[in-house]
Each structure stands twice: as C-alpha cells, then as structure tokens.
Structure 1
C-alpha cells in the first residue's frame, strides 16, 4: 500500500478512536495505534482534549471537526460520511472550485511549491460533489475560491448549521440488507447448481444418443449381411431388436 494511502488509513482509525472515546466513554486507543501520539498531540493543541488534568475538553462544548484535504475521489469523502453516519454526527462538504491556471499561479507564490504536474494531474482526477447522484452529498457547498465575498461566509455558516441540526442516521437496514443478500446468494447457488446439472444431463444424453446410433447402425449392418444371432426368437428382425434392447442397457 502506498505511503499516502497508509497515512490516510491511520488517520481514519485515529479519528474513529477519538470519536468513540468522546461519544461513548470508551478508553482512548493506546500508543500501539499507528500515528496515535501525533494525532493526540494535535487534538490537545486544538483544545479537543484537555492539555492537563482538570481542564475542559471538547466534551464540554459543541465540537466541529474540520478535515482540510483535497479528497479528490468521492470514495475518500464517503469513508468520512460512513463514520459520521455510524456515530450519528452531522456531515457536510465545502468544495473550493478554482481554475487550474489560478492554482498554478498560487503554487508559484509558495515558499515550497509542489511540482506543477502534480497539480495538473489533480485537476484531471478530482471529483466534485454530485448532489443529484449521491444523496449522502446533499449537505455540500461549492464555492469559487478565486473570489472571496462576504456572502460566502454566510453560506458556510448556514451549511454548518444545517449539518449540525440534521445528523446522519445509522443505517438500520444493514441487517435486513445482509439477510436479503444472503438469500439472493443462496438462490443464485441453487440456480447455478441447477444449470450445471442440466448441462451434465444434456451432455450425457447427447453422448448416449451417439452411442445408441452407432449400436443401431452396427445391428442393422449385421442384419443386412445376414448375420444371425442366437436368441429365443426365430424371426431375425425380432432377434436383432431383442439383442439391441439388451445392449442399450449398457449405454
């Protein structure tokens, strides 16, 4: 797994450990959790956890967690939405849209600019929130970051208020969906087995048909050549038919 993917995974695990401790009273993860000490220090600097015994932490006041990242794939953002839904938290997205040339100009003004090809690649890959396609992205706001106007502040505050007033609900249908999925899988397995058996029977019948046709041809040829078989019948036709029926039981 690439380093950035591993770091993102560790951050999500730390974030969930923090939320679980904050909301359920569970103990905080120990130092064995990758990246936990660094995450813990960041939380204390932000006032999310008491820096010393007796000081108030985040539990004593409303809490807003701001994750500042490009999250260029919807799947990356969906992981955080799932976390919010699991713990009945508000969830919203603020997407800052910026023309590529403007991004490149701002990057050149940085003291430590990133390679321009990285920004160009990101511009091609980034997936904007799709409110019509993804219901979970309904609390999203897209702003043009090349312009900063006072109305933007009001829109952002309204977005946050809406998310806080409408926390996500845990997916109560998970159990039913899993049961339905299992039933579908079982039905699919029966269907596949039935189809396989049909194919075996069809092939067996085809093979038997070929063998019977060969046997019939051989018996008819013997009859044409006047070959007689010792049977209980004096009639050669009945004799051949009787022998043929006997041989078919071995096919």
Structure 2
C-alpha cells in the first residue's frame, strides 16, 4: 500500500485527523510560495486534504488605503479576529459533520473571499436555498486527514496564541512553521511585488518579530524553523513529520491546567497593557487640544503635558509590574477611570491658573 492510500483510510478505521498549522515569518520570506508547494506535496504524496488560508488574499481591498498601506492596528486586529470566527464556523461543520452557514455579523467581501478560498481547494460546495445560502462539506474534506495552513506574518506570539486557543477549544492538532529569511532578502523580494509593503514596516517587524520559543512556551513545542532553501525534499519530509505528530497528538483542553492559565494571564496582561497605552495616549492628546482651545498659556501647556505624560508613564509602569491587577472581563476600564480622575485634578489646576490671568 502506498502512503497516499494508507493516509486516506475511512472514518470507521481511525479517529478523524484535523490540524491547524501556522506559517509565519516576515513579508517576502517566501511563505505563500512555500504554502503552495507544501500543499501540493501533501496532497500528492500523502493523500491529505489541505486548505491554505492566506491572510493577504482574504483581506478586502477596502481595508487598504490609497497608498497600499495596512489599516490601523485596531482595525487590523478586528479583521484577524473576524477571520478566526469564519474559520471556527468551518471547524464546527467539520467536527459536527453538518452544513456550514454564514455568521450573523460578517464583512461581506471578506466572507465571500473565505468561501471562494475553501471552494477552490475542494473543501466545501454550495447548496442553493431560497433565503439563506449554506455550504456542504466536500468529500475531500471529510474523507482524509485535513491540515489547514494559516499563512500570515504572525510576528507577535499573542497573534499565534489566538489560533492555539482555537485548536485547544476543539482538540485539534497544532504546529508552527517559521520561515527564517534574511531581512535584506525579504526587502529585495518585497520591492519586486506589485503591491509592496512599506520598507519601514518590514524593518519594524524585523525588530519586533517573536520567533517560536518552545523552551519558554510549552504550547509552542510543535514548532519548526525553516531556513533557505525552504522547498527541498528534506524540508518537505521534516514538515510532514511535524504535521503528522500534530495530527496524532491533538491539543487537549484541561480545565485546571495551571501552566495554561498562567500563559493566558500573561497574554491577557500584554493585551490590556497595549490597550491602556493606546487609550491613555488618546486621552492626553484630547486633553491638550482642549487646553489649547481654552487658551492656556504656552508655558503652562508645556507643564501640563509634562505632568500628564508623567502620570501616564507611572500608571503604565505599575500595570506592567503587576501592581495594578484587573480581570479580563473588566478590561482596562478601571485603569482609565483612575487615570481620568487624576488627570482632572491636574487639568483643573492649570485651567484655574488661566482664569486667574
């Protein structure tokens, strides 16, 4: 029996194998090319079903501005979370053996691109219905081991952890492939693209990118760093072994996993810190604009800015060191409330000075 025939099997013979694989690295590292080659190889040599989901292809054109630049961080994060919601719809259909319907709240263009992506890879087929369209799972998707490859930069650990949480929720296989490519090579390749990413963004990513770190994060133990050339037969076999290990050892959700809860807490704290930083910056900016409108004297404006920024820095440092602890459910509302109370006391002092003049 050849490997392809052995891999196909039937549902009666073995449990269903289903996994998520993150393909990460800098823009221009060769991720999309690698994903296409890997997908073809796995289908032909292993007989697996493969779905490659490229974030670049699924991002609607209206999310890009006239200069071809990416949207603000907050909008970009919303897009990523929405895409994960679509992926979860597909996973639920696979796991429950039922049809897939569109979620209630969706970006129409992005959902259509997602559906087209699955159809083009023979994973779903359309089923006509008068009012609400729905989709049936294709035979390819339900009769073979299925690997869904998510192709994106994933340069922050927190971005990858969101996908891991999805794998854990549904007890799926999970692994990561990091394409290690020199920055200058990435910049050169990017410059040859019709819609290039701004050079400064790639350089910034290069400084900030967080490689998989299995020694620090237990959930990243199924990770592989691939150097150039990435398309050799040896690389394919090494990746296939990693994928098979992930498929045969799905992530188990343990309610009282202390290590996992600690990881969740760290990720949550990082997200709260980022949100707090962005929000406090905005409040300081709005407060300074209000002070200018009130015609506060230039010297007092400078002193006001120094006090507000000092207050902001102190609160963020306390938050970073864990001196301010807030639950994920309350988010940053308590932090903002505390800052605004202190801010009002400072502002009142300078506005009072203005009226005295």
Q: Relative contact order, CA 8 A, sep 6+: which one is greater?
A: 2
Which structure 1 residue ranges, 4+ long, deviate > 6 Å from structure 2?
Answer: none
Equivalent residue pairs, number: 177
Structure 1 gaps of 5+ residues are 179-251
1:129 Cα deviation after fit? 0.3
1:7 aligns with 2:79: yes
RMSD: 2.5
More strand by share: 2
* 1:102-151 deviation digits (Å, cap 9, x = unpaired): 11111122233221111101101110000100010000000113565432
1:98 Cα deviation after fit? 1.2
* Match in the other structure for 1:240: none
* Match in the other structure for 2:308: none
1:117 aligns with 2:200: yes
Q: Is the 8 A contact 1:95 1:128 kept in 2?
A: yes
* Match in the other structure for 1:47: 122
Q: Give TM-score scaled by structure 2 length.
A: 0.45
1:57 Cα deviation after fit? 4.8
Residues of 2 paired with 1:40 and 1:55: CA distance?
Answer: 13
* 1:171-216 deviation digits (Å, cap 9, x = unpaired): 23269x99xxxxxxxxxxxxxxxxxxxxxxxxxxxxxxxxxxxxxx
Q: Indicate the SS of the match to 2:224.
A: strand
Residues of 2 paired with 1:142 and 1:54: CA distance?
Answer: 33
Structure 2 gaps of 5+ residues are 1-72, 128-135, 262-357
1:20 aligns with 2:92: yes
Q: Indicate the SS of the match to 1:58.
A: helix
* 1:54-95 deviation digits (Å, cap 9, x = unpaired): 962512222110000010111111111111111111000000
CA shift in 2, pair 1:25/1:98, >3 Å: same
* Match in the other structure for 1:38: 113
Q: Give TM-score scaled by structure 1 length.
A: 0.63
Q: Is the 8 A contact 2:157 2:212 kept in 1?
A: yes
* Match in the other structure for 1:167: 250
Q: How does 1:93-112 map to 2 (within 5 A)?
A: 93-112=176-195
Q: Is the 8 A contact 1:89 1:167 kept in 2?
A: yes
